[in-house]
């Protein structure tokens, strides 16, 4: 009991109790700093400045392709071939064995050899300021030389270390700054900025929104500006002076191509024995063929035959084949020098014999050489056109073997040649294990529809057979059937049927007349080619609005066939 009067009581404070306000104050201060810092970082990164990368970048339109995609050396801009192939020209061709780069367009073939200071454009040699160079096994190409060809502008800006490629054949949107502005890395004030742009500067505008637009500066920097800071307008494509194009023959208005092949085995036919052919406007003699692995060409052409044809109003499209030899074709096409040799020879022959066109008939080719066939045609067509020659190519119906069908890149070839002739025959070929029509109507129509998936109708010519086959079937001891065949002209087939008094019926599935008879131990069959079958095929030309018809071959037809074809393909 405390008996001392007026003595106050004291509370004892611990050390922990003394430091609590300080700690609370420090915690609050720290929290304030963290919140303020986060707020600054979140709300005000737009004040942050980022220096553009100082390494050389390739800018292609609105895309930054990054570094190591282009070089600026001694005043020349170089691009590696893989960049050109991916972004500018998918058809540019590099042949490492010969060290050649080949560029093809509709009317030009440019050949450039690495380290060479000349290039060949069609048949002309021109000087290069800088040659193609090889680095790490791939060519780097002096792109300014090809700029006009590719319809591009290309510039190097030392201030930004940017190489800029723009298209000249596309309209674009140009912007002009209405006020000073900052180029930002993203759309919005919160994004860091790259450079200051001044009032009146011009930019390329790629995408506009209400708030921010994606642009490229004149020196190649990509970024975003406030849309309200820009005044933009569409700049149309400037008219380009049209190059004078050579005149390539086309059928008269309202007419279709009516071509027949002239088979020349060793000697040309006596033209005095060939009657006038109603409706015919193109004849294709089988004159030229690949003869050796170095690109040599055998020649059976005749100037007198060409004169005869021209006097009758026929165009002469000489046929050039690969001799149907896989090894020969591979050896000749796998070298740029050999391809050039083949093309030069064909052009010399075309001029020498006054030809109007070249018909390419490549068959039995390795599937691995598919791209080489396309490249050969790409290199041939521009220089042939320069000489006024029509280039057509024969292809089979889709499907079948690799060497007789799959090696054709029909879409790529169809984009280059003037006409593609679909050989709708040999549905049942000479060594077929079963007898059947050479070209049944449903099979032919399916073939047309298949090719129309890849080739425009105005380029497609329907190839039809003037021949048929006599099928001879013999039963073996084990009950199996041995099948042999023999090709016949229309007249020979009808004479054979008449001689054997064979019964002729209509084969609904083939859309053709069919004859059958027994001859001793053998059975003989023929699916007839005549005016009726030819009329049905020719009607497909009108039905699908094709470019015309071609027939294999002259001399196998009946007299009335030509009138039937002319009536059907030129219906008004």
State the DSSP H helix or E strand holding residue 518, giving kind and residue range, or none if neither: strand 512-519
In this structure, how many other beta carbons lie within 10 angstroms of the beta carbon of residue 72? 16
Express each pLDDT in 358-371 by its tens digit. 999 999 999 999 99
pLDDT of residue 7: 47
What is the fold, at CATH topology level, of the domain defined by 171-235? SH3 type barrels. (2.30.30)
Nearest-angstrom CA–CA distance, 230 and 226: 7
Cβ–Cβ contacts within 10 Å for residue 283, how many?
24
Q: Which two tokens stand for residue 374?
A: 């396309």
d(CA 388, CA 244): 12
Q: Does residue 342 have a pLDDT over 50?
A: yes
Q: Does the pLDDT of residue 454 top 90, yes or no? A: yes
In this structure, what is the dihedral angle of CA atoms 340, 346, 351, 352, given to the nearest 10 degrees?
120
Query: In the CATH scheme, what is the code of domain 57-155?
Result: 3.30.457.10
**Short-list 332, 333, 402, CA closest to 374:** 333
- Residue 455, by phi and psi: left (phi above 0), alpha (psi -120 to 50) or beta? beta
- To which residue do tokens 């009581």 refer? 9
- CATH 2.30.30.40 domain position(s) in the chain: 171-235
Report the DSSP beta bridge partners of residue 516: 503, 525
pLDDT at 565: 98
Strand partners, 513: 506
From-to residues of CATH 3.20.20.80 in the chain = 257-466+530-569
Q: State phi, psi for 143 to the nearest 5 degrees.
A: -75, -25
Considering only CA atoms, which of 291, 394, 410, 420 is closest in space to residue 349? 291
- Report the DSSP beta bridge partners of residue 483: 473
Give one word for 20, left, alpha or beta, with left for phi > 0 and alpha for psi -120 to 50.
Answer: alpha
The model's pLDDT over 542-568, given as tens digits with 9 standing for 90+, comes to 999 999 999 999 999 998 999 999 999
Q: Does domain 257-466+530-569 bear CATH number 3.40.605.10?
A: no
- Span 3-49, pLDDT tens digits: 445 544 545 455 555 567 777 777 778 877 777 676 666 656 778 99
Distance separating alpha carbons of residues 496 and 498, to the nearest angstrom: 5
Question: What is the reported pLDDT for 10?
Answer: 45
CA 509/CA 470 separation, integer angstroms: 19
Residue 9: per-residue pLDDT: 52
Average pLDDT over residues 402-424: 98
Residue 124, C-beta contacts closer than 8 angstroms, at least 6 positions apart: none
CA–CA distance, 277 with 256 (Å, rounded to integer)? 15
Q: How confident is the model over 95-153, as pLDDT tens digits?
A: 999 999 999 999 999 999 999 999 999 989 999 999 999 998 999 999 999 999 999 99
Task: Tell me how crowded residue 36 is: count the other CB atoms within 10 A of its CB.
Answer: 10
For CATH 3.30.457.10, list the domain ranges present in the chain. 57-155
| DSSP bridge pairs for 423 | 396, 463
Query: From the centroid of its chain, how far is CA 431?
Result: 35
- Closest C-alpha to 186, from 323, 46, 60: 46
- Alpha helices by DSSP H, listed for 255-369, are 303-311, 326-333, 336-352
- Compute CA distances 309 → 299, 312, 360, whole Å: 18, 5, 20
Q: Give the C-alpha separation, 552 to 465, whole Å.
A: 5
């Amino acid at each position: 009991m405390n008996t001392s009067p007026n003595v106050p009581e004291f509370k004892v404070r611990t050390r922990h109790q003394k430091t609590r306000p300080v700690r609370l104050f420090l915690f609050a201060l720290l929290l304030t700093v963290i919140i303020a810092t986060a707020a600054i970082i979140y709300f005000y990164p737009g004040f942050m400045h980022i220096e553009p990368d100082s390494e050389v970048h390739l800018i292609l339109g609105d895309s930054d392709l990054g570094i190591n995609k282009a070089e600026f050396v001694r005043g020349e801009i170089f691009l590696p071939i893989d960049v050109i192939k991916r972004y500018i020209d998918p058809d540019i061709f590099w042949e490492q064995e010969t060290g050649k780069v080949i560029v093809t367009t509709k009317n030009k073939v440019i050949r450039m050899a690495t380290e060479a200071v000349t290039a060949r454009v069609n048949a002309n040699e021109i000087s290069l300021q800088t040659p193609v160079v090889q680095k790490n096994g791939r060519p780097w190409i002096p792109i300014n030389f090809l700029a006009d060809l590719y319809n591009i502008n290309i510039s190097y800006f030392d201030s930004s270390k940017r190489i800029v490629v723009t298209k000249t054949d596309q309209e674009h949107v140009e912007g002009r700054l209405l006020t000073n502005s900052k180029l930002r890395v993203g759309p919005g004030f919160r994004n860091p900025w790259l450079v200051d742009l001044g009032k009146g500067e011009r930019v390329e505008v790629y995408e506009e929104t209400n708030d921010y637009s994606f642009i490229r500066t004149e020196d190649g920097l990509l970024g975003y500006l406030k849309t309200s800071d820009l005044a933009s307008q569409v700049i149309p494509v400037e008219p380009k002076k049209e190059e004078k194009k050579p005149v390539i023959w086309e059928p008269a208005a309202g007419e279709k191509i009516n071509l027949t092949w002239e088979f020349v085995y060793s000697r040309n036919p006596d033209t005095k024995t060939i009657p006038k052919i109603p409706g015919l406007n193109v004849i294709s003699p089988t004159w030229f063929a690949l003869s050796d692995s170095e690109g040599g060409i055998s020649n059976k052409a005749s100037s007198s035959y060409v004169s005869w044809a021209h006097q009758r109003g026929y165009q002469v499209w000489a046929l050039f084949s690969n001799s149907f030899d896989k090894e020969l074709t591979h050896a000749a096409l796998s070298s740029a020098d050999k391809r050039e040799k083949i093309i030069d020879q064909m052009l010399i022959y075309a001029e020498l014999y006054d030809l109007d066109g070249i018909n390419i008939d490549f068959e039995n080719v390795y599937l691995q050489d598919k791209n080489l066939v396309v490249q050969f045609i790409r290199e041939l067509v521009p220089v042939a056109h320069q000489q006024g020659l029509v280039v057509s190519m024969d292809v089979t119906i889709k499907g079948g073997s690799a060497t007789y069908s799959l090696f054709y890149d029909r879409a790529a070839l169809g984009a280059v040649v003037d006409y593609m002739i679909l050989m709708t025959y040999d549905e049942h070929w000479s060594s077929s294990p079963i007898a059947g029509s050479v070209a049944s109507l449903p099979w032919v129509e399916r073939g047309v529809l298949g090719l129309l998936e890849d080739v425009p109708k105005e380029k497609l010519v329907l190839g039809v057979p003037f021949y048929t086959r006599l099928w001879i079937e013999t039963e073996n001891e084990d009950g199996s059937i041995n099948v042999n065949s023999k090709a016949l002209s229309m007249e020979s087939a009808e004479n054979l049927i008449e001689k054997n008094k064979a019964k002729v019926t209509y084969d609904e599935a083939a859309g053709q007349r069919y004859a059958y008879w027994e001859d001793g131990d053998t059975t003989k069959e023929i699916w007839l080619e005549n005016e009726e079958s030819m009329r049905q095929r020719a009607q497909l030309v009108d039905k699908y609005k094709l470019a015309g018809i071609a027939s294999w071959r002259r001399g196998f037809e009946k007299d009335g066939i030509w009138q039937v074809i002319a009536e059907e393909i030129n219906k008004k």
